Structure 1
Amino acid sequence: MKRLIAATLVAAIGVLLLTGCGVSNKSHDNTQAGTTENSSDKAKNKEVKMHVWCSKNDVDITTQMIESFKEANKGTDFNIIIEESEDSDARDNILSNVHNGADVFPIADDQITSMVAGGALYEIEDVDAVKKADDESAVEAATIDGKLYGYPLTADNGYFMYYNKNYFSDSDVATLDGMLDIAGANGKYLTMDWSSGWYLYSFFGNTGLDFGVNDDGVTNHCNWNSVITDIKGVDIAQAMLDIAAKPGFKNCVQDDFIAGVQDGSIIAGVSGCWNAAKIKELWGDDYGAVKLPTYTCAGQQIQMSSFKGYKYMAVNAYTKYPEWANKLAQWFTNEDNQKLRFEMKNAGPANKAAAADDAVKKVPAIMAVMDQAQYGKLQRVGNSYWDAATEFGEKMAAGNPDNTDLQEIMDNFVAGITQSVAK
């Protein structure tokens, strides 16, 4: 449920209107896709009323960008209403009631496929301009069957290694073994959340094994239990058990990671850009961030992989004002506003010019997630993966306490990943 906030912006009179109704009670009803009001879309003397969703934390910056959009388009009577809605809820909220959905809203790349299948997203027409301005991988992640469905907004949805420079040199952070040895020798910890399949994927992604969602968009294929590949499933399981046995390793969730940084017990950990400001505050000049290290598996050094992702501004296929809605989405994601988002939110830009700015290059977390992206994969997985990954990861972190045969563990893991979600 989204809460309508006090942010109805009316360009003609410049007054901030206050309202308090929820989205389920909204009276706005977008016209059917393909029957939009293009003539009024271009009119200079008719009110253009649009709804924009954003998370609670982004209300201020969204309001600022809307004001600058109005200033750049004087002569048009805008009534742009901001509503609070968490980005992760966009898909469910739109698909459950697309006609009452926002005209413009942020989405993550893993939401796009199902929203396109549901006919909810407006196809972007000026593809060449987006390709010229934005990160190639970000554009590709929002492209389905050659059609683009989102304006790239950020390129920092991923994870990497934070480390305390007081303990680690630049060369120390190249290998996980080396980092764990240093942490253990100092009575400290390096942490990672093995209860989450999001992080767990890092051990499998660059091994040559196969995993992904099937064409049905629901079930998965996976050969992580392979016995015939160069790197076998049991090799990875054994590597994880070896890591878990090291005194310098600790399996913990993100809140515990920050708590450990705060009390001094944790000197390195796998996390994302959302913790950058807090890490900087706690470690100060000793704050470092780098791509994930290599880890030892079957006598080899394997570069740790990751899930990577992007965020976009999308346009509702049923908007009454497709021209203005697209202009607004473009405005939210242009070079200047991606720089502004970086300055205010420390968000990694998807715009190439903004990402090349010297100020961005000085932020270790953003540079680390961008560097790690070359070893990452877009998160395209069926739901059965997550519970199976949690069970496997927690068993590895506990050191396989029942001493279960590793091949049996991997077979059960893959069976869980590939099972049908239908009961």
Structure 2
Amino acid sequence: MKFWKKMALGSTAVLAAMSLAACSNGSSNSSSSSSSNKSANLTLWVDTEQVPYYKQIAKEFTKKNKNIKVRVVQSPNGSANAKTDVGKDPSKAADVFEVPNDQLGQMAEAGYINPLSPSATKDIKANYISVASKGVTWKNKIYAFPYAQQAQTIYYNKSKLSANDVKDWKTLTSKGVVATDFTNAYVMWPVMFSAGTKLYGDNGEDLKGSTMNSQNGVNALKWYAAQKNNKGVMQTSNALNQLKKGNAQAILDGPWNAANIKKILGKNFAVAKYPKIDVGGKKVQMEAFLGIEGFAVNSHTKNAKAASDLAAYITNKKAQLIAHKEAGQIPVLKAAVNSSAVKSDPVAEAVIEMAKPGNSVLQPMLPQMATFWNEAAPLISGTYDGKIKPAQYKAKLAKLQKDISKK
């Protein structure tokens, strides 16, 4: 689930002159915008800071589809709340909207979105990185056009910390201060994965497959609790501000904030994959949640073909590269991932490394994730601040596992 907000935009002036390829994968043998002869008026919901450049991308789409008009507006409450906003009245929601992958299962079950067409499904499976197609798949069917991968990394001041320092949590927190947020389950829960627990099994769809009610889960809670007395760890809901003030030399954050962090650190900006941590007597890789951002088509749209064409178009190669240039989004289309612009970007390099198995876990899409987010955060923060005592660990883990497994 998205508990974050992404960075401010750069210039959009260059976009007007760019002509985007019609197909979602940028190849010449597939056309996803040579759409119906029927005229259509479409609405596209995106996050506030994305409106300027998606307006330009939509303008190029309408040049190629003169019978279709597109209105680009900000999501009512941000893409993080897509399920809630669409659910208020699907018939009045946007034809196409941005959505994080962990909500797709809930939206599919509620009937807000339909599986993509066979041709779009084939294209995504063939031309996008495998974790992207997996990330938008629910019960073996693809429900959204993916456009970005998001995993947190460690950003640090390289005048204070070396590349070697940030490879291990113990060294990192003895030589500097890392600011993070133990009230945010998106940020801190993945320590549970490092400890060896699973959330909804190996594939994230097994309702009875969670294993946090175990010694491994207890070990993770012990790690959270130990950080309270670690002088090199700062609890904060505004890590950026602490980095700016110089109170912290490193933060755990995502690509959506890279531009802001670069402004703060300037020539001392550096980024790397997460460090190793000691959990349960073992040194393991600190993991992160991996999220896939996508665009879904409202099942209640009166212009399904045109809406699908638009969703495919705004996730094609050039559109993904624009999103990378303007907002630091990390592409998922193979052709975009392999572009020089992405390969030369240290943030993209670190995110792509974190996206690999063993470094991150794809956010599950079960509807019960809503319960998970609500209950996981207070468990972590309560353990960290000592309000939840060691004698309570097993009972708290048992309750969480039971609650998130209910049908």
TM-score range, shorter chain: 0.7 to 0.9
2:330 is paired with a residue whose SS is coil
Q: Partners in 2 of 1:365 and 1:251 — Cα distance?
A: 24
Q: Aligned letter for 1:309?
A: G
Per-residue CA distance 1:378-404 (angstroms, 9 max, x = gap): 223533433443333234433x378x3
Is 1:353 the counterpart of 2:335 in the alignment?
yes
Corresponding position of 1:50: 42
Per-residue CA distance 1:151-182 (angstroms, 9 max, x = gap): 111112x2121111112222222110110111
Q: How does 1:251-330 map to 2 (within 5 A)?
A: 251-253=235-237, 255=238, 257-330=239-312
Q: Partners in 2 of 1:94 and 1:285 — Cα distance?
A: 43
- Structure 1 unaligned blocks of 5 or more: 1-40, 184-188
From 133, 140, 145, give the equivalent of 2:139: 145
Per-residue CA distance 1:100-140 (angstroms, 9 max, x = gap): 22222111101111221122223222122222221211111
1:411 is paired with a residue whose SS is helix
Is 1:77 the counterpart of 2:67 in the alignment?
yes
Q: Aligned letter for 1:80?
A: V
Q: Partners in 1 of 2:240 and 2:298 — Cα distance?
A: 38
Is 1:97 the counterpart of 2:89 in the alignment?
yes
TM-score (norm 1): 0.78
8 Å CA contact 1:211–1:222 kept in 2: the answer is yes
Residue 420 of structure 1 and its aligned partner are, at CA, apart by 6.9
Q: How does 1:333-348 map to 2 (within 5 A)?
A: 333-348=315-330
Q: Partners in 2 of 1:89 and 1:64 — Cα distance?
A: 24
Q: How does 1:241-260 map to 2 (within 5 A)?
A: 241-253=225-237, 255=238, 257-260=239-242
1:383 is paired with a residue whose SS is helix
Q: Partners in 1 of 2:372 and 2:299 — Cα distance?
A: 31
Is 1:120 the counterpart of 2:112 in the alignment?
yes
Is 1:60 the counterpart of 2:52 in the alignment?
yes
From 189, 194, 198, give the equivalent of 2:182: 194
Per-residue CA distance 1:317-338 (angstroms, 9 max, x = gap): 2333322222111110000111
Pairwise CA RMSD:
2.7
8 Å CA contact 1:160–1:372 kept in 2: the answer is yes
Q: Partners in 2 of 1:150 and 1:170 — Cα distance?
A: 37
Corresponding position of 1:397: 384
Residue 213 of structure 1 and its aligned partner are, at CA, apart by 8.5
Per-residue CA distance 1:176-199 (angstroms, 9 max, x = gap): 01101111xxxxx21221111112
Q: Partners in 2 of 1:118 and 1:138 — Cα distance?
A: 22
Q: Aligned letter for 1:204?
A: M
Distance 1:49 1:235, change over 3 A: closer
Residue 285 of structure 1 and its aligned partner are, at CA, apart by 2.0
8 Å CA contact 1:93–1:101 kept in 2: the answer is yes
Per-residue CA distance 1:4-56 (angstroms, 9 max, x = gap): xxxxxxxxxxxxxxxxxxxxxxxxxxxxxxxxxxxxx722xx53222222222
Per-residue CA distance 1:286-344 (angstroms, 9 max, x = gap): 11111111111232101111211111111122333322222111110000111111111
Greater shift in the superposed pair: 279-288 or 79-88: 79-88
2:195 is paired with a residue whose SS is coil
The share of aligned pairs that are identical, in percent, is 22
Q: Aligned letter for 2:200?
A: G
Q: Partners in 2 of 1:384 and 1:355 — Cα distance?
A: 34
8 Å CA contact 2:157–2:268 kept in 1: the answer is yes
Corresponding position of 2:15: none
Q: Aligned letter for 1:177?
A: K
Per-residue CA distance 1:209-241 (angstroms, 9 max, x = gap): 2333999x99876432424xxxx3333333333
Corresponding position of 2:217: 233
TM-score (norm 2): 0.81
Corresponding position of 2:23: none
Corresponding position of 2:100: 108
Distance 1:63 1:391, change over 3 A: closer
1:338 is paired with a residue whose SS is helix
From 149, 154, 164, give the equivalent of 2:148: 154
8 Å CA contact 1:153–1:333 kept in 2: the answer is yes
Q: Which structure carries more strand by proportion?
A: 1
Corresponding position of 1:23: none
1:82 is paired with a residue whose SS is strand
Q: Partners in 2 of 1:204 and 1:251 — Cα distance?
A: 18
Q: How does 1:343-422 map to 2 (within 5 A)?
A: 343-374=325-356, 375-380=359-364, 382-398=369-385, 400=386, 404=389, 406-419=390-403
Q: Aligned letter for 1:342?
A: H
8 Å CA contact 1:161–1:289 kept in 2: the answer is yes
Q: Partners in 1 of 2:139 and 2:372 — Cα distance?
A: 26
Q: Partners in 2 of 1:270 and 1:165 — Cα distance?
A: 15
1:275 is paired with a residue whose SS is helix
2:54 is paired with a residue whose SS is helix
Corresponding position of 1:179: 172
Is 1:88 the counterpart of 2:80 in the alignment?
yes
